[in-house]
Amino acid sequence: MSTPGKRALPPRTRPLSARRRRPEWLLYLHSLTKATPARIALGVFTLLIGVFTVVLSLPMATVSGERTHLTDALFTTVSAICVTGLVTVDTGTHWSTFGLTVIMIAIKLGGLGMMTVASLLSLSVMHRLGLAQRVITAKETRAERLAEVGGVLRVILVTSTLFELITFVALTPYMFITEHGIRESLFLGLFYAISAFNNAGFVPEAAGTAQYVADPFFTIPIGLAVFVGSLGFPVIMVVVKKWRTPRKWSVHAKLTLTTTALLAAVGFVGILALEWSNPSTFGDRSLPTKVLGAWFASVMPRSGGFSTIDVGQMTAESRLLIDMLMFIGGGSGSTAGGIRVTTFALLMLAIWAEIRGNPDVEVFHRRIPRDTIRQAIGVLVMSATVVFLATFLLLRMTPYTLDQTLLEALSAFGTVGLSTGITPSLPEDAKWVLILCMYMGRLGPMTLGAALAVRSRVRMVQLPYERPIVG
């Protein structure tokens, strides 16, 4: 306060030239934090795709030293950031160590999630996390309270890095034993660990993963990393915090784990039975190899994308089963894609409640809100529409069959990476269809679900009922 009789002095200010000015790109990142969830996801997503496409187009990113075609560089970038694994060029022979490192970084950022990346950029650049960004990040990470968002982001980074480190430690000694050099073993172990936990499915070896079909020292660590990564951070956090008291787990965690176990069992039994006598896959293999291969093949459609058997040589029935598993995908808030297992579970519960004549959808002694069921229906319809249009366009643009094109479209939308082998030979316009399909598959269900939740409103005036005929 100023004393009587004296004029109050103005506050001390620095001249404009002496103030710390932030670059334009930092101000752009700050502006993203004030946008809607959809704009944040699209903005960060598009920015990362553009940067990594330019880097992968450099001559030093390839083994030959030549520039990669723009469409192939873009396709690889979108596939990496969308943690998909579909490729138009062979990953193990086309890209140099620098190129593989760039792909590995893109996978890591894509696996963390677009909202999480936006939040981390906001924290590192502006040294704070605004209320709007906390609300948005809470939707992405499923934090129960806004005050927990900062802690959740740290838990996500620590948890993902920890699981990747465990997988790296499990794989690297094995790579060294199998006649790889120490530097190559370290690089392969790190690449596989990041690619597996983030459900990317990129393979840095020219021989692929078919060489490990009977090898539990490779398939088990990779399969477990894919499985844990596909559960989702909300589930992992609940299980870690309350592992001694499963009764106190959230409905989301219980629903995700239960549905995941059922789908894994159906996939394992189905693939094992359908491929048991197939000479192109398991026909001449031993019993342990058949069991191990069927388990690995049943985990990968969740969004892993690795394959120790040729998907193109599997029976049509097995591919149809894989199509269903890819469309469902993994857990919400995870590195997996698809409509998510909770969406599928809620739809099945709604159908069961309708069959039994129950007015409410109930599970684990809890009642599910009607607007949540509506969100699940919206995600299902939108996802099915995208897959249908992508399959239709691929059929028009290519000479391949419905079986092949449907699997490629579902693999792209579900960010899986499994393929019948037709992706590298697709014409350029068909590659763009898959690029858009991966883009929609990574952002579509998340943004649509958030949009439907935000747009929920209470109407003061309601129209009268009139029931149309159903069925």
Phi, psi (degrees; rounded to nearest 5) at 450: -65, -40
Total domains in the fold of the chain: 1
User: What pLDDT sits at residue 126?
Assistant: 46
C-alpha span between 398 and 281 (Å, rounded): 26
> Would residue 3 count as lying in a domain?
no
Burial of residue 467, with CB atoms counted within 10 A of its CB: 0-12 exposed, 13-18 middle, 19 or more buried = exposed
User: What pLDDT sits at residue 388?
Assistant: 95
User: What pLDDT sits at residue 357?
Assistant: 85
> Would residue 16 count as lying in a domain?
no
Longest dimension (CA), the chain: 101
Alpha carbon separation from 150 to 40, 111, 123, 157, 335 (Å, rounded): 18, 18, 9, 11, 20
> Would residue 7 count as lying in a domain?
no
> Would residue 6 count as lying in a domain?
no
User: What pLDDT sits at residue 117?
Assistant: 57
User: What pLDDT sits at residue 21?
Assistant: 56
> Would residue 396 count as lying in a domain?
yes
Token representation of residue 412: 């792209």
> Would residue 149 count as lying in a domain?
yes
Specify the amino acid at residue 109: L
Q: What is the DSSP string of 422-458?
A: -GGGS-HHHHHHHHHHHHHHHHHHHHHHHHHHHT---
> Would residue 383 count as lying in a domain?
yes
Q: What is the pLDDT along the chain (471 residues), one digit of tens a residue?
A: 445 544 555 555 445 444 455 555 555 555 544 555 556 667 778 888 999 999 999 999 999 999 999 999 999 999 999 889 899 999 989 999 999 999 999 999 888 765 565 455 444 444 455 544 555 455 545 554 544 555 566 777 788 889 999 999 999 998 888 777 888 899 999 999 999 998 898 999 888 888 888 889 999 999 999 998 888 877 887 888 888 888 888 888 899 999 999 999 999 999 999 999 999 899 888 999 999 999 999 999 988 889 989 898 999 999 999 999 999 988 887 778 888 899 999 999 999 998 888 888 888 888 888 888 888 888 898 899 999 999 999 999 999 999 999 999 999 999 898 999 899 999 999 999 999 999 888 876 556 555 555 555 566 677 786 667 766
With residue 163 as reference, give the H or E element that holds it.
helix 149-177
> Would residue 379 count as lying in a domain?
yes
Range of the structural domain that residue 237 is part of: 24-454
User: What pLDDT sits at residue 87?
Assistant: 92
Q: Tokens 């398991």, residue? A: 282
Strand partners of residue 366: 363
